[in-house]
Amino acid sequence: MIELLKRVWTSPKARSGCVVFACVLAFGLLGPICLEAEPTDMVGELYEPPSAERWLGTDNFGRDIFTQLAHGTRTSLQVGLLAGLIATLIGTAMGSVAGYKGGLPDAVLNSVTNLFLVIPPFVVLILLSISLRTRSVAVLAVIIGVTSWPWVSRSVRAQVYSLKTRRHVDIARISGFGTFAIIVREILPYILSYIVMAFVLQVASGILTEATLSMLRLGPYNAVSLGTMMSWALMFEAVRAHAWWAFIPPVLLIAVITFSLKYINSGMDEVFNPRLRRT
């Protein structure tokens, strides 16, 4: 794993992506701790422009935008990371078992994967969200995670499939190791870079999905996220009221987070995929 990170660090793209993401992460982690106010505190008038006291002004309820932004970043990152983790775990488990076992388990798992690849995950998400009475941050992250694993599963399956005829895998099998041990010890380490790349992309898409759900007013009910900030700004006509400070910061922050993650992914691709390296 450390070896892997070292190699990632050799790519300038991945490096700059990591630096940007680390800055956002620090803002989301430290911001809510350092700022005393709660994001729901009404501290000022309606749509106060930015000032020395309130760096990014206030929103339609007179709540401080900068405070909301810090809390919103934290929520969005929480949802993205948890959803990405769940999707990557399910996808890796399904894909590696299907690819390694072959035969009937593969046929069954593959059909399930294909089924969920074709049915738009977003539709399932909307249907799930409208039926849930409580949409906390964790619940939202879980349902995003369990609807977005099929892509991971498909690519992991292909990778495992090409690896399972390797000698060291055969040796492990002859030595009597079980399926689980072989997958974990003999196969997964070789495709770790792919799994990490898939995870990075899943985090990005998890953050975007949360934002989209929030825009449809299906976001978390108990927390501020970058998506709910945009949704409020739109609903309370911040755009038409020229209150740019209410919506431009969350829009830019979302773009910066996903951009940094995709940049990391693209840099890793160049490191681990020799055919993409320029000659």
Partner 1 sequence: MRRFASYIGKRFGWYLLTLVFALVLNFYLPRLVPGDPISQIVSQIATGGVESETMQRLYDTYVEEFGLDRSLPAQFLSYVGMLFRGNLGTSFSQYPKPVTRILADALPWSFALQLPALVVGWIVGNVLGAVAAYRKRVFDHVLFPLSLFLNSIPHYALGILLLYFLAVALDWFPVAGGYDQALTVSFSARFIGSAAYHYVLPFASVVLVTVGGQAIGMREMSIYELNSDYVLYCRSLGLGSGKIIRYVFKNAVLPQITGFATSLGMVVGGSLVTEIVFSYPGIGQVLFTAIRQSDYPLIQGCTLLITLAVLGANFLMDISYGLIDPRIRAAEVEEAAT
**Positions that interact with partner 1 (CB under 8 A):** 114-115, 118-120, 122-124, 126-128, 130-133, 204, 208, 211-212, 215-218, 230, 233-234, 239-240, 242, 244, 247-248, 251, 254-256, 258-259, 262-263, 266, 269, 275-276, 278-279
Residue 100 beta carbon to partner 1: minimum distance, rounded to whole angstroms: 19
HSE of 54, CA atoms in CB hemisphere, 13 A: 25
Please state the φ and ψ torsions of residue 49, each to the nearest 5 degrees.
-70, 165
CA-CA distance, 76 to 255, in Å (whole number)? 12
CA-CA distance, 133 to 145, in Å (whole number)? 19
Output 195 or 261, the one with its CB closest to partner 1: 261
Q: Which of 117, 79, 91 is nearest to 195 (CA)?
A: 91
Output 96 or 129, the one with its CB closest to partner 1: 129
Residue 276 beta carbon to partner 1: minimum distance, rounded to whole angstroms: 6
Residue 232 beta carbon to partner 1: minimum distance, rounded to whole angstroms: 12
173: left (phi over 0), alpha (psi -120 to 50) or beta: alpha
Output 140 or 182, the one with its CB closest to partner 1: 140
| DSSP type of residue 49 | P
Residue 110 beta carbon to partner 1: minimum distance, rounded to whole angstroms: 12
Output 27 or 244, the one with its CB closest to partner 1: 244
Over its C-alpha atoms, the chain yields an Rg (Å, rounded) of 22
Output 172 or 248, the one with its CB closest to partner 1: 248
Question: CB under 8 Å to 135, separation ≥6 — which residues?
Answer: 129, 218, 219, 220, 221
SS3 at position 61:
coil
Under a CB-based contact definition with an 8 Å cutoff, are residues 84 and 258 in contact?
Answer: no
Output 48 or 210, the one with its CB closest to partner 1: 210
Two tokens, residue 237: 């006509």
Residue 252 beta carbon to partner 1: minimum distance, rounded to whole angstroms: 9
Residue 176 beta carbon to partner 1: minimum distance, rounded to whole angstroms: 29
Two tokens, residue 111: 């059909």
Output 35 or 60, the one with its CB closest to partner 1: 60
Residue 101 beta carbon to partner 1: minimum distance, rounded to whole angstroms: 17
Q: 198 to each of 47, 90, 91, 194, how far by Cα in Å?
A: 40, 12, 10, 6
Beta bridge mates, 58: 64
